Structure 1
């Protein structure tokens, strides 16, 4: 009796199940920002709000100063970027679940 054959199928099935969890899609979420213009040099801020995230997921924010949208100037998991000077900014929100 060859017991390796059923074991091979079990391993393939387990790998298939794992691959389904790795490529799971997270829920879409709503993202909004509000700004506070600077009244003195470097005291402007951008506040972010998200709703509808996947349960247990975390949100991180990445800040870019236009026109350079390739190199971030700040990153946070808090909901505010502070001490900003005048300018045009891009905020990117990223939802992650677990260590992936």
Structure 2
């Protein structure tokens, strides 16, 4: 973490704040998109109001949801465990970008 992003005088607390802000942003965006999508599906007649509340995943869907949750959790843990300037990508993002360019 670069010193200019250490607002609280303790890098550990600043990293925790980074994590909280990342989570808050993701929750907000996810909620907005989910609500908009549900409304569009209700308007088009694909879903009835409240139908989404009764959703039960199939075994394959549950596996996919579990894998996505695990990947998301690993990403959040990296926010705390990786060091370096905040403006730099996380290690996995950097490696993916390099692999894409290499081709």
TM-score bracket for the superposition, by shorter chain length = under 0.3
TM value normalised by structure 1: 0.28
Larger Rg: 1
TM superposition score normalised by structure 2: 0.27
Structure ranking higher in strand proportion? 1
Greater helix proportion: 2
